[in-house]
A and B are shown apart, each in its own frame.
Chain A
Amino acid sequence: MIIFFQSLISGILVGGVYALIGIGLTIIFGVMRIINFAHGDILMVGMYLTYGLFTLLGIDPFLSILITIPLMFLYGGFLQKVFINRVLNALPQNQILLTIGLGLIMSNTMMLIYTSDYKILTTPYSSSSLKILGLSISEPLAISFVITAVITAMLYWFLMKTDTGQAIRATAQNREAAQLMGINVKRMSIIAFGLGASLAGTAGALISPTYYIFPQIGSTFTLKAFVITVLGGMGSVVGATLGGIIIGVAESMGAVYISSGWKDVVVFVLFLLVLLFKPSGLMGKTRM
């Protein structure tokens, strides 16, 4: 039983970060109806940004998100303004290919700068763990979960209570109607992509003490982000939060009860089942 709770806890903790990745993707999809295949690569950029800040300036990875969040927001806005904006009315497959291309550029540029060697970001607390009720909890995972919870709460508040947040939700619900109501849809798109990128980048920063850092890590997280958002329902922030936790738990349970090699297969099979039997996801369509 202790093993069950142990894997449940670590699944939930990892799931928190997954939720952050999924929320970013779902906001971008909700507002622009574009599936961002570069999402994992943006996360990878966030990881390297954290790594760079840590090795060059010695800034703690969890503190560095104060720098990562605004920088990644600007980066996302830049991507939206320069590239994505031009294909908003193009064929969906061209949109997908454009983001795949951007992802390739990001991962290969990072390879040019840092080579494809695996990097490890070692902090004093990287391998320490807390003991609570007989369960051992990884300290960096616990810290990142707390930060994730705070960020998610702030994001809900932003989307629900502020004018900009409401404008973003309106754009997601009906782009044309939002435009008729005087909402600057283009600006909302830039903000949405910026938000998505900064959430992915923050997730990258939060996992950098516990994961290997290498340029090709992106595609793994892109796939995970899809699974999470489809599971929760494309465009639904609540769904993505739930989806992240479910995938985190499914992975850690799969690793314990089946085998660590097959845990990703469990996730993909779950994904296909959701696609086939409940394509609108757990939380229905396009609610934000």
Chain B
Amino acid sequence: MNMKIFLANIAGYSPVKILLTIAVLAFLFLFPHFVENPYALHIMILLFLSTIMGESWNILGGYTGQYSVGHAAYFGTGAYITMMLMQYRQVPPWYGVWAGAAVVVVVALVIGSICFRLRGPYFVLASIAVAEIMRLSALNLKDITNGAEGILATEIPPLKIGATVVTDFLSKVPFYYTGLTFALLTIAVTYLVQHSKLGYYFQAIREDQDAAHSLGINLSLYKNISLVISAILTSLAGSFYAVYIGFIDPSTVFPLDISVQIVLICIIGGIGTIFGPVIGALVLVPLSEALRSNMIAEAIFKTGMVTEESGPGQFLKENLAHAHALIYGILVVIVILFMPDGVLGFMKKLLAKRMK
């Protein structure tokens, strides 16, 4: 996109929108200066991570209409390459991330050349199968990946430019800014995709593959381009997750659950929209954290419906935390049945009704 169109686009927005965007950005950049609570920062970092995951899937699933349920393959590959380089070759993660992305491009092209021959449900099944093969390989190639024991990060080297230390990654703040940068980057990429010729090709493929083909759009070329963009961003999420948590094993970065979670963030927020995945992350992360940290159970006790000492109370307290994924299931069923355009689409419809 050239500068002229970009400026015209900016000019097309109302001042309120521009001011609002600046306000949100300022808030996000200043947040760690006002809030020092590590848990609040942790939640924000999880929000960024979910946004990156959802946003990157959105390019392939939302804009190009290829429902991959195997994005864990890219998430896990990024995570593994970055961690292996850091632990075994002492390569700092801010270089390792890009090495991870490069490997993921190769993986994505191999997977794409296999899976894009298939359509609809068969594509979904093939994408799952490939991700499972990756997981099982990570589990069995013990010499390279350390198998089921996983990789534990012992220390992260500080980020230096020249001789000056930019940050040492000892607190959560540097992770906050890294996450924020990656999240803004993925949103920017999505924006560019949506407003470019490339994006129109993607959307044409989503709407009707055969019609797009007859108009001269090279299906497998553009599907693969979409997959590569999506996979690179997903690998950034995986690498970021690995370095932030400091531990990975095949069952945390390669499982089917990760692939499903990535899709759900997008579906719940609103598919094929720039801010859908952001909304999805805003809905899912706080809810699942509230369950995980037993806040829901405590809230139920406060309402007095169940006392903490009673049998059911004890049960809730002990088990509700383990079932935080339950909320994903319930939400996705509600969204599919009652708001097929996601929370964002549902709110837009509601607003439109009000306006009338």
Contact B326 A104 (CB under 8 A): yes
Q: Mark A238-264, 1 if CB is under 8 A from B, else 0.
A: 000000000000000000000101101
Supposing A112-B323, A261-B136, A275-B126 touch, asked if A96 and B67 sit within 8 A by C-beta, the answer is yes
Q: Which of B122, B137, B257 has the most CB of A within 10 A?
A: B122
Q: Is A122 an interface residue (CB 8 A)?
A: no
Contact B136 A262 (CB under 8 A): yes
Contact A102 B136 (CB under 8 A): no
Q: Is B333 an interface residue (CB 8 A)?
A: yes
Supposing A108-B326, A279-B118 touch, asked if A87 and B129 sit within 8 A by C-beta, the answer is no
Contact A269 B133 (CB under 8 A): yes
A115 neighbours in B (Cβ, 8 Å):
319, 322
A97 neighbours in B (Cβ, 8 Å):
263-264, 267, 332, 336
Contact B336 A223 (CB under 8 A): no
A112 neighbours in B (Cβ, 8 Å):
319-320, 322-323, 326
Closest chain-B Cβ to A267's Cβ sits at a distance in Å of: 9
- Shortest Cβ distance from B255 into A: residue: A219
Closest chain-A Cβ to B111's Cβ sits at a distance in Å of: 10
B140 neighbours in A (Cβ, 8 Å):
259, 261-262, 265
Contact B329 A103 (CB under 8 A): yes
B222 neighbours in A (Cβ, 8 Å):
none
Contact B122 A279 (CB under 8 A): yes
> Within residues 243 to 265 of chain B, which ones have a CB less than 8 A from any CB in chain A?
256-257, 260, 263-264
The answer, among A105, A116, A226, A272, for a CB contact under 8 Å with B130, is A272
Contact B332 A100 (CB under 8 A): yes
- How distant is the Cα of A103 from the Cα of B256 in the complex, in angstroms? 13
Closest chain-A Cβ to B22's Cβ sits at a distance in Å of: 36
Q: Which of A113, A219, A262, A275 has the most CB of B within 10 A?
A: A275
A109 neighbours in B (Cβ, 8 Å):
323, 326
A105 neighbours in B (Cβ, 8 Å):
326, 329-330, 333
B interface SS class:
helix
- How distant is the Cα of A25 from the Cα of B336 in the complex, in angstroms? 22
Q: Is B352 an interface residue (CB 8 A)?
A: no
The answer, among B117, B325, B326, B336, for a CB contact under 8 Å with A94, is B336
Total chain B interface residues with beta-carbon distance under 8 A: 41
- How distant is the Cα of A238 from the Cα of B346 in the complex, in angstroms? 44
A interface SS class:
helix
Q: Mark B118-138, 1 if CB is under 8 A from A, else 0.
A: 101110111011101100110
- How distant is the Cα of A83 from the Cα of B336 in the complex, in angstroms? 10
B125 neighbours in A (Cβ, 8 Å):
35, 226, 230, 271, 275
Q: Is B182 an interface residue (CB 8 A)?
A: no
Closest chain-A Cβ to B289's Cβ sits at a distance in Å of: 16
B32 neighbours in A (Cβ, 8 Å):
none
- Shortest Cβ distance from B148 into A: residue: A261
A57 neighbours in B (Cβ, 8 Å):
none
- How distant is the Cα of A35 from the Cα of B120 in the complex, in angstroms? 11
The answer, among B67, B132, B325, for a CB contact under 8 Å with A108, is B325
The answer, among B139, B260, B320, B330, for a CB contact under 8 Å with A100, is B260
A96 neighbours in B (Cβ, 8 Å):
67, 69, 121, 124
> Within residues 191 to 228 of chain A, which ones have a CB less than 8 A from any CB in chain B?
219, 223, 226-227
- How distant is the Cα of A90 from the Cα of B337 in the complex, in angstroms? 10
Contact B323 A94 (CB under 8 A): no
Closest chain-A Cβ to B63's Cβ sits at a distance in Å of: 14
Supposing A111-B319, A261-B136 touch, asked if A271 and B129 sit within 8 A by C-beta, the answer is yes
Supposing A98-B336, A275-B118 touch, asked if A116 and B129 sit within 8 A by C-beta, the answer is no
Contact A104 B122 (CB under 8 A): no
- How distant is the Cα of A38 from the Cα of B331 in the complex, in angstroms? 16
Closest chain-B Cβ to A134's Cβ sits at a distance in Å of: 32
Q: Is B328 an interface residue (CB 8 A)?
A: yes
- How distant is the Cα of A86 from the Cα of B335 in the complex, in angstroms? 13
Supposing A223-B128, A272-B129 touch, asked if A101 and B136 sit within 8 A by C-beta, the answer is no
Q: Which of B69, B139, B264, B329 has the most CB of A within 10 A?
A: B329
- Shortest Cβ distance from B117 into A: residue: A276
B330 neighbours in A (Cβ, 8 Å):
101, 105
- Shortest Cβ distance from B129 into A: residue: A268
Contact A272 B114 (CB under 8 A): yes
Q: Is B92 an interface residue (CB 8 A)?
A: no
- How distant is the Cα of A272 from the Cα of B121 in the complex, in angstroms? 13
- How distant is the Cα of A35 from the Cα of B122 in the complex, in angstroms? 10
- How distant is the Cα of A83 from the Cα of B332 in the complex, in angstroms? 12
Q: Mark B305-332, 1 if CB is under 8 A from A, else 0.
A: 0000000000000011011011011111
A–B pairs, 22, beta carbons within 8 Å: A86-B337, A90-B340, A93-B67, A97-B264, A98-B333, A100-B263, A101-B333, A101-B336, A108-B323, A108-B329, A111-B326, A112-B323, A223-B128, A226-B125, A226-B129, A227-B129, A268-B132, A276-B114, A276-B117, A276-B118, A279-B118, A279-B122
Q: Apart from A105-B333, A230-B125, A264-B136, what 5 extra A-B contacts exist at CB < 8 Å? A: A35-B124, A98-B333, A101-B332, A226-B128, A275-B126
Residues of B within 8 A of A (CB): 67, 69, 114, 117-118, 120-122, 124-126, 128-130, 132-133, 136-137, 139-140, 256-257, 260, 263-264, 267, 319-320, 322-323, 325-326, 328-333, 336-337, 340
Residues of A within 8 A of B (CB): 35, 83, 86-87, 90, 92-94, 96-98, 100-109, 111-113, 115-116, 219, 223, 226-227, 230, 259, 261-262, 264-265, 268-269, 271-272, 275-276, 279
Chain A to chain B: the 8 pairs with minimum beta-carbon distance, closest first? A104-B329, A101-B332, A108-B326, A105-B329, A101-B333, A261-B140, A108-B323, A98-B336
